[in-house]
Every structure is written in C-alpha cells, then in structure tokens.
Amino acid sequence: MEVLTSKARRRLALKTSAMAVLGAGIFGGLPVVAALAAPVDVVYNCTVTGGQPTNVPFRMELRTPAAATPSGVVTVTWDIAQPTATESRLPAPSAITPSSTVVAVGTISPSGTPVPATPVTVGQTSTPFATISEGSPMPLATMTMVITPTATGTVALKGGGFALQVNGHPVYHCAPGASGGPSAHFVVTTGSTGTPTGTGTPTNTGTGTPTPTPTTSTPRPTKTTTEIVTVTPSSERSTKKSQTPKSGADTGAGGMMGPDGRTFILAGTALIGAAALGGLLMRRRNATRG
C-alpha cells in the first residue's frame, strides 16, 4: 500500500479544495444569476413637506430578468416596503381615504454598453383598500420601468431618489444615503433572433408520384451433405490376445506384484528394536562414567 508523504497529502488537499470551490462556483452560481437581486435594507432620507427629515431603512429590491437579448424589451420592477421595525416606518402625514391615490415617482440610472447611461423616470399609482389614519405607516407603490438594450453585455442598475404624492400633492421626497439606492444587474446575450436559413415552403425536386419498385429474390436451396466414417481396428489390436494364467490366481505371496509386505514389517521391527537397545547401552555407559 502506498503511503503519501506530508507534502503529497498537502498537494492533494489543495487540489481537492480547488475542485470543490470551482464546483461550487459553477453550480452554486446559477441560482445567483437567476435571482439577481434580493430585498435589502436601504436607508433613505425622507423629508415631509414643511417638516423635518427622517431616516427610513426601507426594504427595497430591483427585480430584473436573469438574461435578455439585444432589442428585447426588459421590464424592471422597483419594490419598496416599509421597515420591519414599527418605530422606523414612514408615517402618513395625514389621513388617506380609500378613494385617494398614492403615486410614487423615482429614477433608476442604468450603466453598461448595451444601454445609454441616462437616468430613467419610473412611477406607479396605488390605491389603498382601507382608510389610513394620520401617523399610520404610509402606503408605498411599486414602480416599474422598461428599457431596451441595443447590444450584448452586462447592464447595471442603480436606484435613486423617489417622491410620494397623495391625490397629486407632494407628501414626501426621499433621497438615498451615502451608500446609494438599491442595485441590480442582468446580462444581455445573443439569442435565436436571426432568420433561419431555410424559409418558405419546401420545394420537391422530383415530379409526379414516386412508384415503388418491387424487389424479388429467389431463395436458394440448402445443400446438406452427410459423411459416414467407418473405423477399422488396426492389425496390432486385432492380433492381440488375452492371456489367462495357467495355474489360476496366485494367493499368499506377492507373486508378480513384488515382495510380500511382511518382509517390510519384520525389517521395521528389527530396526526399532536395534535403536531401543542402542539407546539403553548409551544411557548405561553415561551412568557408569558419572
């Protein structure tokens, strides 16, 4: 069994870690591309008309498709939600009835080669379903924008400031903090927008109805050959005769099988007796010397 040295084990560990990181980057990066943005806390400085500014950590998200094609229409959605903490939520400066309209208008700045780097105005109107009393959380509208990339590449989006209006009257103006507004990006790639090579109605090169040509074949008979082989015994086998002992079966001695077994038994017994006698003599001699 081969034993790895410390250096070899270290190299093997580094290679394994590199492969794990590469695999995680390839397979783990796919969901990240599919979800280009996620709701995050973004601090905005909101100023009510005639009042003091308030820092509000809104939950914001710029939702975009994972990929787009040149000249394709891309819809970007800007979601704005009140903070989770009750004390940090933006309050309504006055009561809002169900018949009131709340309008959100903001700007998103795109960047990248596929689009012009000019801010785009976004807006949306929302109608609350119940009466919002003064001091309750201000209803917020989701804003959308549409852009059309002109080339391949990566488009980056950055949210800017936005304003809230009730029944056409400005209520709040919110500006992003030092870190800026929410951000997102999507990739513009070439898709199957080209015209396929073969277009129109296919034309048949042949005319008329094709007539099938029957093909006949004559089966060939199978020829079977049987060979019979006769084996004739050789002259040596045919002339060989069986021999019968003249005096019948020998009993007692070994006969042609060799010497009788009793001879070996007697010789073995004699050797064992001689060895025992020699041992006794040697023992007695040693006792006499001692």
Domain ranges of the chain: 39-188
**Residues of the chain with pLDDT > 90: what percent?**
33
* Under 8 Å between Cβ of 63 and 76: yes
In this predicted model, what pLDDT tens digit does every residue of 181-230 receive, in sequence order?
999 999 999 864 443 334 444 444 444 455 555 555 555 555 554 445 44
CATH code, residues 39-188: 2.60.40
* Under 8 Å between Cβ of 122 and 105: yes
Confidence band, pLDDT 50/70/90 cuts, at residue 129 = confident
Give the C-alpha separation, 183 to 156, whole Å.
7
First to last CA, the chain: 62
**Position 111 pLDDT exceeds 50:** yes
pLDDT at 247: 52
Phi–psi pair at 208, nearest 5 degrees? 80, 180
- Average pLDDT over the chain, rounded to whole? 74
pLDDT at 259: 58
pLDDT at 286: 73
Q: What residue type is 215 in one-letter code?
A: T
In this predicted model, what pLDDT tens digit does every residue of 35-79 receive, in sequence order?
345 789 999 999 987 778 889 999 999 999 888 999 899 999 999
Using the structure block, give the residue that is written with the tokens 């870190």. Answer: 179
Using the structure block, give the residue that is written with the tokens 């070994």. Answer: 254
pLDDT at 26: 36
Confidence band, pLDDT 50/70/90 cuts, at residue 10 = low
pLDDT at 200: 42
**Choice between 279 and 213, residue whose per-residue pLDDT is larger:** 279
Q: For the stretch 31-69, what's the b/e string if a residue is b when 16 or more beta carbons lie within 10 angstroms of its beta carbon? A: eeeeebbeeeebebebebeeeeebebbbbbbbbbeeebe
* Under 8 Å between Cβ of 102 and 90: no
Q: Which two tokens stand for residue 213?
A: 């040509």
Give the C-alpha separation, 138 to 132, whole Å.
8
Closest CA to 121 of 148, 156, 146, 155: 146
Give the C-alpha separation, 102 to 270, whole Å.
131
Partners of residue 60 on adjacent β-strands: 40, 80
Confidence band, pLDDT 50/70/90 cuts, at residue 266 = confident
